[in-house]
Structure 1
Amino acid sequence: MVAEFLPKPTHNSGDSAAAPVILGLLPAALVDHIARVDSSILSTIPGEPGGSFPVAAEELKDILKEVDTHILSSPNDLPPVKTIAGGSVTNTIRGLAAGFGISCGVIGACGDDEQGALFLKNMSLCGVNISRLRVKDEHTAQCICLVDPLGNRTMRPCLATAAKVQAGELKREDFKGSKWLVMRYSIYNLEVINAAIKMAKQEGVLISLDLASFEMVRKFRAPLLQLLESGNIDLCFANEDEAAELLSGEEAVRPEAAIDVLGKYCQWAVVTLGANGCIARHKKEVVRIPAVGQTNAVDATGAGDLFAGGFLYGLVKGLSLEECCIVGSCSGGSVIRSLGGEVSAENWQWMYKQMKTNGLSAPVVVQDL
């Protein structure tokens, strides 16, 4: 399995004196093994289709063996299996650096192994500052992303024995000078998340939270609500399924209801609606926009992550709420055109074209690709 890398943008990815504008929290950096498979494999693995649920090391090995017998051919002669630096936060941060030219960095840990080296190389080549990433004498986390013929993805991460940054290892200096911290909800990382939030808030950093998966919200809804009710989450992203689980117990869950609930806790709230676009709220303002552009979805992996990256780019650049949603939709649409959560140079160009079509200026980094 070979990783695909984008050309390195012009900004520095090493030990830069200037703090990254946006940081991503990666308690356990991971590598994705993305495979196009027939749907029958989903009935043979733990958890429900379509979500993201942790598995043990032995289960990971068993699923990888099953993948070999369920592989589908890919369109355009693309490899059916791809291995890249993965994870929701990774996809968002890498996209912001490589496609939008925003100064980004990551805080966390990876293992001193082959997978860890691949992760570091991939992120560095995409212009991400990795100076805050601890390298430990342990294994790097891995995740299997199974993509069915319709482009839907089922994710099974293996994190239990992976290299992980501990709450006590975080320092206020990690957050100093940055504007945003991007994180993903996980009950297994709650101690690190809370420690990071505390230090980030002490440094005046805004917090963006992704709700991760409907399974995670369903099983650990109470601590998630406690996190939201703390008032420390400035921006929250949820898809339709996650929003429905958050509002479980109500007879009918509509996106408008979910956005109202999230809006009670967060300055900005966004519910993505797949092919139907998104709905977003900032204080009393609510906007709803359709999906941007026409594209055939090859793989939905990273769609929400890249949407978040585009939306954050809009906030950093001072765009309106509607414009932030449009950029997010363009960005999310760019990643589903190929396998995996990394956008190719060709698909970045597709995104820039969509932005211009919708009356928005393309990022300056377009000239560096």
Structure 2
Amino acid sequence: MANHNIASPDNSYPSSKPAIDVFTLGNALVDYIYEGVQESFLSDNKLRSGDMHLVNPEAGILLDEKLASMKMIRLAGGSATNVACGVANLGGKSACSGCVGDDANGLFFQANLIASDVKPHLWKSEIPTGVARTFVTTRDDGRIERTFATSLGAAPTLPPQALPIDTIRTSRILHTTGYTYQAMSDTFAAALEIAVSAGTMVSLDLSSPSVIEEYRQQLMDLTLSKVDFLFMNEQESMTLSGTDNPLDSAQLLGDKIKFLIIKLGPDGARVFHEGKETVIEPFAATNVLDVNGAGDGFTAGFLYSFCRGLSLHTCGRVGAYYGARVVEHLGARLPFSPMSQVASIIAAEEKV
């Protein structure tokens, strides 16, 4: 059976104005989040506590079977997907492209996007849908630890011809990740070419220090020529600059990228644009349960606000607020709409 598109056609969108605020491209993974996992389960299955492990689909299924009696949260996931869902949760228009399997998880991924008000553009493969498992354990000192076992499955097999060209062209921003480049560089490059040729802005999150170390020159070549928004966290920034100061990357790239955003976790963020630095003050998280969605939440809030024409400081503050709320829940989503709170933040910021 040949791969084929399972999403609706692009011609439903008018070409005269942006139909989508943020279109995302990335690894389509279904998140399985297991709570209350015992440390003994990790050691028995040779999983290093706190680390990320790549496992084949068969090994992943065996892990699931061993935890069949435990509570599990299931969500459409992957960094780019998290951003698309965040933008939609804030009231923006978003779409998401990725590759899933011809299986129950593939159908779930599509249905979960639709339920989250994200327009899916999915390619279906004979390879099983990728699964990202999170095992949540509580250490003796009370600290919550997360250990990961990911089966990429169909996720990295999205071909360039699967890209919804008209949707990318009629989007304000294309957002993708370093992980996407690592998994499918040809598709990544094709998407950027489509966006740039149409005047769609390009946003890139560098994803991880290991991606930077492996693909530094390739990513920098693409970034300097095609990327408008470059997002990175502290560790990624220091890896990029080769120093122990996360703000040093601004000296390296600050005058070469339209918008350079360095996410500093509980210390907020810094935004560099046209030689000026904007300091983003943080919002406090009251009960941190899962920090993995914080960066994606910040990016979603920032891009959503940018599409509304708000100031860079307001964009950053909305991003900081959204990220702080996301970490208070398991999974990189909010189970409620924060639009009223965000509206208050915007009103206060834009009066200044």
Whether these two folds match at TM > 0.5 is: yes
Q: Could you say which residue in structure 2 is the equivalent of 1:300?
A: 291
Q: Could you say which residue in structure 2 is the equivalent of 1:114?
A: 104
Structure 1 residue 133, shift from structure 2 partner: 2.0
Q: Could you say which residue in structure 1 is the equivalent of 2:228?
A: 234
Structure 1 residue 66, shift from structure 2 partner: 7.1
Change (3 A) 1:15 1:247: same
Q: Could you say which residue in structure 2 is the equivalent of 1:203?
A: 198
- State whether structure 2 residue 144 is matched by structure 1 residue 145: no
The 8 Å contact of residues 96 and 309 in structure 1, kept in 2 or not, is answered as yes
- State whether structure 2 residue 87 is matched by structure 1 residue 133: no
Q: Secondary structure at the match of 1:255?
A: coil
Structure 1 residue 65, shift from structure 2 partner: 6.1
CA distance in 2, matches of 1:215, 1:62: 28
Q: Secondary structure at the match of 2:247?
A: helix
Residues 195-250 of structure 1 show CA distances to partners (whole Å, capped at 9, x for unaligned) of: 11111111111111111123332343343333323x211111111122222223x3
The 8 Å contact of residues 213 and 242 in structure 1, kept in 2 or not, is answered as yes
- State whether structure 2 residue 242 is matched by structure 1 residue 254: no
The 8 Å contact of residues 111 and 163 in structure 1, kept in 2 or not, is answered as no
The 8 Å contact of residues 175 and 200 in structure 1, kept in 2 or not, is answered as yes
- Paired positions, count: 331
Change (3 A) 1:313 1:62: same
Q: 1:1-369, aligned counterparts within 5 Å?
A: 16-18=12-14, 19-26=19-26, 28-36=27-35, 37=37, 49=50, 54-61=54-61, 64=64, 79=71, 81-97=72-88, 99-130=89-120, 132-149=121-138, 150-151=143-144, 153-162=146-155, 164-170=157-163, 172-186=165-179, 187-229=182-224, 231-248=225-242, 250=243, 253-345=244-336, 348-349=337-338, 352-353=340-341, 356=344, 359-360=347-348
Structure 1 residue 113, shift from structure 2 partner: 0.8
Structure 1 residue 33, shift from structure 2 partner: 0.8
Structure 1 residue 20, shift from structure 2 partner: 1.8
Q: Secondary structure at the match of 2:31?
A: strand
CA distance in 2, matches of 1:256, 1:233: 19
CA distance in 2, matches of 1:115, 1:15: 27
Change (3 A) 1:282 1:46: farther
CA distance in 1, matches of 2:209, 2:233: 9
Structure 1 residue 155, shift from structure 2 partner: 3.9
The 8 Å contact of residues 176 and 205 in structure 2, kept in 1 or not, is answered as yes
Structure 1 residue 290, shift from structure 2 partner: 2.7
Q: Could you say which residue in structure 2 is the equivalent of 1:74?
A: none
CA distance in 2, matches of 1:239, 1:173: 32
Identity within the alignment, %: 27
The 8 Å contact of residues 99 and 154 in structure 2, kept in 1 or not, is answered as no
Gaps of 5+ in 1: 1-11, 72-78, 363-369
Q: Secondary structure at the match of 1:344?
A: coil
Letter in 1 for 2:34: A
The 8 Å contact of residues 15 and 129 in structure 1, kept in 2 or not, is answered as no
Structure 1 residue 17, shift from structure 2 partner: 2.5
The 8 Å contact of residues 31 and 86 in structure 1, kept in 2 or not, is answered as yes
CA distance in 1, matches of 2:47, 2:249: 29
The 8 Å contact of residues 32 and 134 in structure 2, kept in 1 or not, is answered as yes
> What TM-score results when the alignment is normalised by the length of structure 2?
0.82
CA distance in 2, matches of 1:82, 1:45: 23
The 8 Å contact of residues 266 and 284 in structure 2, kept in 1 or not, is answered as no
Specify which structure has the higher proportion of strand.
2
CA distance in 1, matches of 2:292, 2:191: 26
Q: Secondary structure at the match of 1:301?
A: helix
Gaps of 5+ in 2: 1-7
The CA RMSD over aligned residues, in Å, is 3.1
CA distance in 2, matches of 1:216, 1:303: 19
